[in-house]
Structure 1
Amino acid sequence: MVVEIVASVAILVAGVTLFVLIHVCIIGRTFSTITSGASMQSGTILISRIGSMSQEDIKKLPSYDFNMEEQKSLEKSTSECVVCLEKFKSGEKCKLLPSCNHSFHCECIDSWLVKTGACPICRALVDIGREEGSFPSEVGLELR
C-alpha cells in the first residue's frame, strides 16, 4: 500500500513537472516572437503596442444621432455599445469607426480610444485618414 502511494505521488509530480515545462516553453516562444517580430505578418499589430489617439483625432471621427427605426432596417446593426454594454436609445450621440463600421456611444468610444487606438470589437486600427465623404454608403446613416 505504501508503494502504491509513493508511485502515485511520483506520477503526480512528474505530470505537474511536465505541465510546467510545456507552459514555460509556450510562454518563452510567445515572448521571443513578440520581441523579434519574426512571425508577425505585416498587418498584425498587438493591441498592447497600439498607441492611443489624440483628442483632436478622436473629434474627427464621424458621429450621428442613433435612430432605432433606421437600425432595424440594416442587416448588420448592433443594439448595444460593447464598451458600456448598454442598449442604444433613439437620439443618443454615437460614433462610427470608419475602418470597420462599428458603432459606439460617443463618450464610451472616446474614452476607449484615448487608451487604445483600435476598435474594441475587431481590434482594427482606427483610420482617420479618410475624407468624410468616403465612408461606406452601406451604413445608411447620416454622419456629421
Structure 2
Amino acid sequence: MDLDGIISTKQTVNYESKTRAVDSNTAVSFSIRVREVELRFVRDGSFLRENLLKHRTIASPVIGLEIPPCFLAGEEICRGYVAKALSKTIIPTWIQPFILPQICKDAITEGKRSGFMVEAQVGAVKQTYINNCIDVNDYNSEGRKIPTEPDCPICLQDFGPRSIITKLRCCDYNFHRDCILTWLGHKPSCPTCRDDICGVSLNPRHVINQMELQYELKRVSFEKRSKTLGWTKRVSRISLNP
C-alpha cells in the first residue's frame, strides 16, 4: 500500500528555563537538556480508534552553549549566532527552530548582567499518524472486527462513545489515549502484560485503506457465495491507489 498522502505529523515543544549565578566572565551561558518522545499511530477515519506502533523516548546529555556579549546587541544577530551553534549540537534539527527564539530571548534578557547561567529543560513530542486506515490484525479471518474490552485497564472507566481508544500494537491491549500516554511517560512497558513498547515494525500488508477494506470484504463475501453456488469466476483485487 502506498502511504504517501495519508501521513500527518504533529510536533510539540515545551521550553522551560531558570537562571542561577555562576563565576564566569561570559555574558550568558546555557545548559540545555532535551527529552524527545517519538510516537507513531495508525488511526481510522473517525480518529477515535488508533493503534500505537511506536513509542520511543530519547534523553540527551546536558548541552553547553555560551553566547559572547557582541552577539547580544539585537535579536537578529543573536539568532544568527545561536542558530549556527545549535546546528553543531546533537539536538534534533526539527526541535531547533522551536527553541531558538526562546534561547535568544533569555540570552538578551540575562546578557545585561554577567555571571549567570540559564538552565533550560526542553520536552519535545513528535507524533506521526497514518490516517484513514485500519490494521488488519484488528479483524478476524472472516473480516469481522475483534471486540474491544469494555473498559480501560488503567482508570477502570468505560470506553465512552467519544473516547479515543489506543491499542498497543505489541500486545493488543486497549486503553484511553490519555491514560496510556501518561503511563508511557513514566514506564516504557504495557501496564497490563509488561511487554516492552520501544517500537513495532510496520508491515505495509498489515495496514489497509478503509475503502480497500470495504472492497476486500465484498470480494471475500462474493467468493464465499461463489463456492456455495458452485461458481468458478474469481474477482481480482483492484488497487484503489493511482
The TM-score normalised by the length of structure 1 is: 0.44
* TM-score of the pair, normalised by structure 2: 0.28
Hey, which of these two has a bigger chunk of strand by percent?
2
**Which one has a bigger Cα radius of gyration?**
2
Task: Give the structure with the larger helix fraction.
Answer: 1
Instruction: Determine which structure has greater relative contact order: mean sequence separation of CA pairs < 8 Å that are 6+ residues apart, divided by chain length.
Output: 2
